[in-house]
């Protein structure tokens, strides 16, 4: 799979592709896909309505590109360093594709207030949130059981939870919405405040446990009927985490302190 999955099609009616996309989609949309938040199903539904102008930032390809940039093998034990660079790369790619004029941009791309400020006249920004502990455990289950891929966790769970990557996984909402560099402290008061400010500037914030309301909101926003299916088997809300010990659950809860604060605030603000 290439670095991106995109389409920008000229239907041979004499209009250049960008002008054609403007005709059918006067306003664009950016979906900030936080991992393990039902984003795959929504992304598929959203992209089906933007066939003339859409681009999805591919996580596997950006991880591979980051490894090449750092001259580090993609299967290295220094996975956290590569993931950090890949996240920065995705943010840069988001800015690039906004500048290109793509109408539908989706992917695991961190967002910040400067991104919205420069694109608010042309694009709406949306995302889906999930209870952080549930999200973390789903992420952990997925990455410890997958056979391969950029997010694979090879360590025992207990050892992984002491790693730098484990701490970042507990603050994904801050990582995705604060606009801060990937090397900053995502648990700082300033980072939390910046994340909340960014979320306030989004046109729609949905929740995994109420996707029907989110789909209705996006239908209104895009003027396209959006129906969110279940792209991945085993929906997030029905995940079984009974295999985790009490100690692991307690550690995960502590790691998610910053995201839990943001999630509680978001539930009060947007529900």
Task: Give the per-residue pLDDT at 204.
Answer: 96
Task: Give the per-residue pLDDT at 270.
Answer: 96
For every one of its 271 residues, what pLDDT tens digit does the chain have, with 9 covering 90 and above?
A: 445 556 655 555 555 567 777 888 889 999 999 999 989 889 988 988 888 889 999 999 999 999 899 887 655 557 888 999 999 999 999 999 999 889 999 999 999 788 999 999 999 999 999 999 999 999 999 988 876 678 888 889 999 999 999 999 999 999 999 999 888 888 899 999 999 999 999 999 999 999 999 999 999 998 888 888 765 544 444 456 778 999 999 999 999 999 999 999 999 999 9
Task: Give the per-residue pLDDT at 109.
Answer: 95
The full DSSP string for 105-136 is EEES----HHHHHHHTTTEEEEEEE--HHHHH
Architecture of domain 4-270: 3-Layer(aba) Sandwich (3.40)
Task: Give the per-residue pLDDT at 234.
Answer: 45
Phi, psi angle pair for 128, to nearest 5°: -125, 135
Task: Give the per-residue pLDDT at 2.
Answer: 46
Neighbours of 207 (CB within 10 A): 19
Rounded Cα distance between 190 and 43, Å, is: 30
pTM exceeding 0.85: yes
Long-range contacts of residues 59-63, Cβ cutoff 8 Å, at least 24 apart: 59/86, 59/90, 59/107, 59/108, 59/150, 59/151, 60/1, 60/149, 60/150, 61/1, 61/2, 61/3, 61/4, 62/3, 62/86, 62/89, 62/90, 62/93, 63/150
Task: Give domain limits for the chain.
Answer: 4-270
Rounded Cα distance between 36 and 130, Å, is: 8
Task: Give the per-residue pLDDT at 162.
Answer: 94
């Amino acid at each position: 799979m290439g670095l991106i999955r995109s389409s920008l099609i000229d239907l041979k009616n004499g209009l250049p592709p960008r002008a054609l996309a403007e005709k059918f989609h006067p306003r664009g949309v950016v979906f900030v896909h936080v991992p393990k938040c039902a984003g795959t199903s929504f992304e598929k539904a959203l992209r089906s309505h933007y066939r003339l102008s859409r681009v999805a930032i591919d996580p596997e390809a950006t991880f591979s590109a980051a490894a090449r940039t750092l001259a580090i093998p993609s299967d290295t034990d220094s996975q956290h360093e590569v993931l950090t660079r890949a996240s920065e790369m995705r943010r840069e790619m988001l800015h690039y594709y906004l500048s290109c004029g793509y109408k539908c941009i989706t992917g695991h791309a961190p967002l910040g207030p400067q991104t919205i400020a420069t694109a608010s006249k042309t694009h709406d920004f949306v995302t889906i949130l999930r209870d952080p502990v549930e999200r973390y455990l789903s992420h952990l289950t997925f990455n410890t059981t997958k056979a391969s891929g950029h997010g694979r966790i090879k360590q025992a769970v207990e050892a992984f939870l002491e790693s730098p990557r484990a701490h970042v996984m507990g603050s994904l909402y801050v990582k995705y919405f604060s606009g801060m560099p990937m090397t900053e402290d995502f648990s700082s008061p300033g980072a939390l405040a910046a994340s909340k400010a960014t979320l306030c500037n989004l046109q729609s914030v949905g929740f995994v446990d109420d996707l029907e309301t989110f789909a209705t909101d996006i239908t209104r926003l895009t003027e396209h009927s959006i129906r969110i299916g279940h792209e991945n088997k085993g929906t997030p809300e029905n995940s079984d985490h009974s295999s985790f010990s009490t100690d692991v659950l307690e550690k995960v809860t502590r790691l998610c302190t910053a995201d839990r604060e943001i999630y509680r605030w978001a539930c009060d603000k947007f529900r």
